[in-house]
Chains A and B, each alone.
Chain A
């Protein structure tokens, strides 16, 4: 039976830059997915694009292409990525530029457009689309003027179209991570629009792949059993036309693929396991069977799915004020008490300067005695040192900036043993709030465009 090998070389914006190159060169591979977009990454790209109309995509991706383009072309390893961000056309031009520099001819690059609906927002709202927040039910209207990005999560179909047209590299903006793995399966195996079990299988394969090494030994509960985590192999799925697949990694790499490492990733960021909704299908995770087929090989089968919903998920972001946080290290006897005194000094001095932050807009955390999970893990009675972490958020950047000025003085005006303040005053950072909503999928899909061009 024919199988195809699909890898994932990038799990998030800021992931390891060598990993996809090692994955490509480490063994056989047919398709390579590369994910660059966290929930609010597009709003960062919006700022970049506003400053320079030729930006607004994941520039790391160009560095990757420059390193591997001749090899991709020679081996016909096809790359699927959301690196296009808000400007996939500019990203394509840059790839063509790199191809010319490297003297690689006949590089076909596909672009999927239509996910970005920011410019359509006023008209859509006028037509009665409220984009109610999926958690709170509130309509987006009050935040629409501050919206920094509004994108629909697309599914696999437009990517399949680009693959069918022979694209070696496919650039999307917002698209589900699972679609990047499902699309090659639909393209290769000809799965139909309503073959729900098959579509669900490909979707779950994509879910296992989407966080890179989190299914091959990274972030694993029994970390002490994982060999050579420094050299962890990014994952590869060997997919078959009947929907079954094997999770594995390239030979000679570190990490491990076991039923336990794959099961942990299956449950990662999971809601209702019986209803994993994507634009392509509603997948049922409670049907997946895992079996250790060999060393670093886990076979997955039995997956069932149901019809896709009439909605697409919308991911919007808007500017929601400013925040800053700063840390100091406090060493020596009674470190925890000294940390609390230091925090009190900061908050009292700010209060005298007329700057009061409401309880929910400021935080005091003493790292080292259970700040992540207060009371859940036993704290040492007399830690040799702790880190005091203070933070505030506020609509006014000047108030946040003023807070940042109160931390360094603790070195001379606070208790003894205060150190580790080399990073300077914390600067106000923009807070980009994330707004999830649903929308009638036809409104988006009627505007999708797929274009494949060759350099």
Chain B
């Protein structure tokens, strides 16, 4: 099934200089495998094409079943200089959770 990421993972984002970080955490080990395989640097760069104008980095955090992404040059100049409504990348986590992934039906919980 094709579903948005929020069905199998949760996320939080914040600012790192002129970029943001997005922590993406799977609800299960199987979900983490899907993140590892499908939520690649290339897909994240494409997903945030209108927001992120620099490179995307991905770090694996297996103990938390999580990936950490750095989206460089995504805040329009950073905290105080930016003119953007979201100058701190607070919304980027909500944005990543909209990415579509392919998952087996057995993995889906109610209301996530």
| A contacts, CB < 8 Å to B | 39-40, 134-135, 214, 219-222, 224, 260, 263-274, 285-290, 302, 320, 323, 325, 361-363, 365, 367, 371-377, 389, 391-393, 431-434, 436
A270 touches B78 (CB 8 A): no
Q: Could you list 11 examples of A-B contacts with CB < 8 Å?
A: A40-B80, A134-B17, A263-B25, A263-B64, A264-B10, A273-B59, A320-B81, A373-B50, A376-B51, A393-B83, A433-B81
Roughly how many angstroms separate A433 CA and B112 CA in the complex, as a whole number?
A: 39
Residue contact A376 to B80, C-beta cutoff 8 Å: no
Contacts of B23 in A (CB 8 A): 263-264, 266-268, 270
Number of residues of chain B lying within 8 A (CB) of chain A:
44
**B95 in complex: contacting residue of A222, A269, A270, A373, CB < 8 Å:** A373
Q: Is the CB of A273 within 8 A of B61?
A: yes
B12 contact from A265, A325, A431, Cβ within 8 A: A265
Query: Are the CB atoms of A219 and B12 closer together than 8 Å?
Result: yes
> Chain B contacts of A376 at CB under 8 A?
47-48, 50-51, 95, 98
Q: Does B66 contact A (CB under 8 A)?
A: yes
Within B1-32, which residues are at the interface with A (CB < 8 Å)?
Answer: 6, 10-12, 14-18, 21, 23, 25
Chain B residues, CB < 8 A from A375:
49-50
In whole angstroms, how far apart are the Cα atoms of A374 and B86 in the complex? 11
Q: Which residues of A contact B10 (CB under 8 A)?
A: 220-222, 260, 264
B68 to chain A, nearest CB (A): 5
B16 touches A221 (CB 8 A): no
New A-B pairs, 8, CB < 8 Å, besides A221-B11, A268-B23, A290-B64: A40-B80, A135-B18, A270-B23, A286-B61, A289-B63, A375-B49, A393-B83, A433-B80
Knowing A260-B10, A260-B25, A286-B61, say if A431 contacts B80 (CB, 8 Å).
yes
Q: Please, how many angstroms separate the alpha-carbon atoms of A289 and B80 in the complex?
A: 36
Pick from A266, A371, A373, A393: contact of B92, CB below 8 A: A373
Are B61 and A271 in contact, CB atoms less than 8 angstroms apart? no
Is B66 a contact of A267 with CB atoms below 8 Å?
A: yes
Residue interface bits B74-87, CB-to-A below 8 A is 1, else 0 = 00101111011110
Q: How many A-B residue pairs have CB under 8 A?
A: 123
What string of 1s and 0s marks CB contacts (under 8 Å) between B51-77 and chain A? 100000001111110101010000010
Interface pair A221/B97, CB less than 8 Å apart: yes
Which secondary structure dominates chain B's binding surface?
Answer: mixed
Q: How far is the CA of A365 from the CA of B15 in the complex (A)?
A: 20
Report B-chain residues with C-beta under 8 Å of the C-beta of A272: 59
Q: A285-B61, A286-B63, A288-B64 are in contact. Are A373 and B12 (CB under 8 A)?
A: no
Complex contact A432–B98 (CB within 8 A): no
Chain B residues closer than 8 Å to A260, beta-carbon distance: 10, 25
Contact status A365-B79, CB under 8 Å: no
A391 touching B12, Cβ below 8 Å: no
Specify the chain B residue showing the minimal Cβ separation from A432.
B80
Q: Which residues of A contact B66 (CB under 8 A)?
A: 263, 267
* Bound CA–CA A389/B82 (angstroms): 13
Q: Are B12 and A372 within 8 A (Cβ)?
A: no
Contact B83 A325 (CB under 8 A): yes
